[in-house]
Amino acid sequence: MNIGESMKMAFSAIRSNKMRSLLTMLGIIIGISSVIALVTLGNGSKAMMTKEFSAYGANRATIYLGNDDEETSEDIYTYMISENDLEMIERIYGHKLEGVSPTESFLGTVAKGRKSYNVTFNGVSDSYNKIENLTLEEGRFFTKEDVASERQVIVIEKKMVDNFYDGVSPIGQVITVDVNGQSETFSIIGIYSKPASNFQMESNLNFTAYTPLSIGTRINESEGFGALEYNVKKGFDVKETSNSIISILERTHDAKGKNVYRVFTMESQLKMMNKFTGTITTFVAAIAAISLLVGGIGIMNIMLVSVTERTREIGIRKAIGAKKKDILSQFMIESIIVSGIGGIIGIVTGIGFALIGTKLMKVPLTVDPKVVLFAFMFSAMIGVFFGIYPANKAAKLNTIDALRYE
């Protein structure tokens, strides 16, 4: 008997027990679809993250003050990055850096009619537009002189023009903002836009604006900076440069070995992300393995029932000349087909779930053919593994007893 005939027989057996076959497949379907859905979603979010991070800038790094629990806030002050530190870093590493800037943020509110809008002001240095991926739509970014002379100028985002100024360019206009109960007046010198990020919640009531660092320092009355952002020029190693900046800071603040200055780079962030995804993948794999094991036992169970039900058929087949291996292959192929169909349904529903998930999470759908193929092969393997015992039982039936079976 050839495989074609065995497959025909298996399909007709499955067709005549549609509901039972479907229920038998369920374990496999759930197992395979959850693997496919989660792996696909995982890949999608990984791809999105990589894209997001590369938009942030692969050469970008942030040095920040690490606040370990045992450190009191008083101690932290002595380690704060000062204006002098900034000048020194610019002097020593200027040739390696595209831009270097701390950020002093403060909040302000502007009112228009009855609506009130929140504006996050980021006080940054003039080179900040070389760090952050900003596109100047109109006007200009502030200069060294603007920063040095504490000019009350701001660069606002395009969204603010659209929502607050009804699309009319406000360049040259003056805006009065309420900051901690005091009025601050700024003149608008530029409009920027930046690529939309999935990480930030979009709201039409919140705007972000950039203002000279000196303004931020004055308003926050800060004595130093808690963080420093910079972009390392191409050709220089991000990690190496960051480490030597840290060692200079440690030397000037007498903080050697205290691990107060830490660096955040995209590279380290990606590594952490991958570790996280790896943990989730392991977790999912464990759940899927349990589900597939249960599914496999389900198949074995139903195949055993099927062998008992068809004892007489087996007897007839053997009487008219079926060999042991014919009966064995018939039942093996049936169980492989059941698990294989379960696998295919699982793959399709898994991709379906992933599609919905990617729509909700706004990540790209990336179906890995390797994973799909592996899932299919694995489900077929379950059919082989859990089909052997029932098929062997069928093949070993005594012909006379089987023929007499009622």
Partner 1 sequence: MIRVQEMRKVYRTGEIIFEALKGVSIDIKKGEFVSIIGPSGSGKSTLMNILGCLDNASDGIYELDGQVTSNLSDDQISELRNEKIGFIFQSFNLLPKLTAVENVELPLIYSKKSKSERRKMAEKSLGLVGLSDRMEHRPNEMSGGQRQRVAIARALVCEPSIILADEPTGNLDSKTTDEVMGILKELNALGNTIVVVTHEPEIAAQTHRVITVKDGHIVSDERQVS
Which residues of the chain form contacts with partner 1 (CB under 8 A)? 1-2, 5, 12, 16, 312-313, 315-326, 399-400, 403
Q: Which is nearer to partner 1, 240 or 309 (CB)?
A: 309
CB of 332 to partner 1, least distance (A): 17
SS (H, E, C) the chain: CCHHHHHHHHHHHHHCCHHHHHHHHHHHHHHHHHHHHHHHHHHHHHHHHHHHHHHHCCCEEEEEECCCCCCCHHHHHHHCECHHHHHHHHHHHCCCEEEEECCEEEEEEEEECCEEEEEEEEEECCCHHHCCCCEEEEECCCCHHHHHCCCCEEEEEHHHHHHHCCCCCCCCCEEEEEECCEEEEEEEEEEEECCCCCCCCCCCCEEEEEEEHHHHHHHHCCCCECEEEEEECCCCCHHHHHHHHHHHHHHHCCCCCCCCEEEEEHHHHHHHHHHHHHHHHHHHHHHHHHHHHHHHHHHHHHHHHHHHHCHHHHHHHHHCCCCHHHHHHHHHHHHHHHHHHHHHHHHHHHHHHHHHHHHHHCCCCCCCHHHHHHHHHHHHHHHHHHHHHHHHHHHCCCHHHHHHCC
Q: Which neighbouring-strand residues pair with 229?
A: 62, 101
Question: Do residues 158 and 191 touch, judged by C-beta distance below 8 A?
Answer: yes
> Which CB sits closer to partner 1, 324 or 359?
324
Q: How far is the CB of 289 from partner 1 (least distance, A)?
A: 36
CB of 298 to partner 1, least distance (A): 24
* Shortest separation between residue 294's beta carbon and partner 1, angstroms: 30
Task: Decide whether 58 or 305 has the Cβ nearer to partner 1.
Answer: 305
Of 13 and 37, nearer to partner 1 (C-beta) is 13
For partner 1, which is the closer residue by CB, 151 or 318? 318
Q: Judged by CB, which is closer to partner 1: 17, or 206? A: 17
Decide whether 194 or 325 has the Cβ nearer to partner 1.
325
Nearest approach, Cβ of 41 to partner 1 (angstroms)? 43
Taking the least distance from each CB to partner 1, the nearer of 168 and 320 is 320
Residue 372 CB, nearest approach to partner 1 (Å):
34
For the CB of residue 301, give the shortest distance to partner 1 in the complex, in Å. Answer: 22
CA distances for 263 relative to 8, 50, 83, 260, 324, angstroms: 65, 19, 19, 10, 69
Residues with Cβ within 8 Å of residue 333, at least 6 apart in sequence? 3, 6, 7, 9, 10
Instruction: Answer yes or no: are the C-beta atoms of 330 and 6 closer than 8 Å.
Output: yes
**Residue closer to partner 1, measured from CB, 251 or 325:** 325
CB nearer to partner 1: pick between 172 and 321? 321
Tokens 């999912």 sit at which residue? 284
Please state the closest distance from residue 386 (CB atom) to partner 1, in A: 24
Q: Closest approach of Cβ 400 to partner 1, in Å?
A: 5
Residue closer to partner 1, measured from CB, 39 or 395? 395
Nearby residues of 164 by Cβ (< 8 Å), 6 or more positions away: 110, 112, 117, 207
Shortest reach from residue 323's CB to partner 1, in Å: 4
CB of 12 to partner 1, least distance (A): 6
